[in-house]
Amino acid sequence: MGQIWFEAPGAIHSFAENASATEPAELLAIFVAEDDCGPLTIPVAD
C-alpha cells in the first residue's frame, strides 16, 4: 500500500522520482524539529 523512509537531520534530498508511469505520486512529509531550528530547506546554487 505504501512505503516509509527516514532521512537523518541535515540530509540533502536531491532526487525524487515517481515509481509509477501511470499513477500520480502522493507524498506526506512530517518534519520533527526543535523550536528555532532554522530553515528546513537549503537553497541550491545553479
Report pLDDT for 46: 67
Tens-place pLDDT, residues 5-46: 788 877 777 777 888 899 998 878 888 888 887 777 767 776
Give me the amino acid identity at 29: A
Report pLDDT for 7: 81
Cα of 34 vs its chain's centroid, Å: 18
Report pLDDT for 22: 95
pTM of the predicted structure, to 2 decimals: 0.40
CA proximity to 45, closest of 4, 17, 6, 12: 12
Cell triple for 17: 522520482
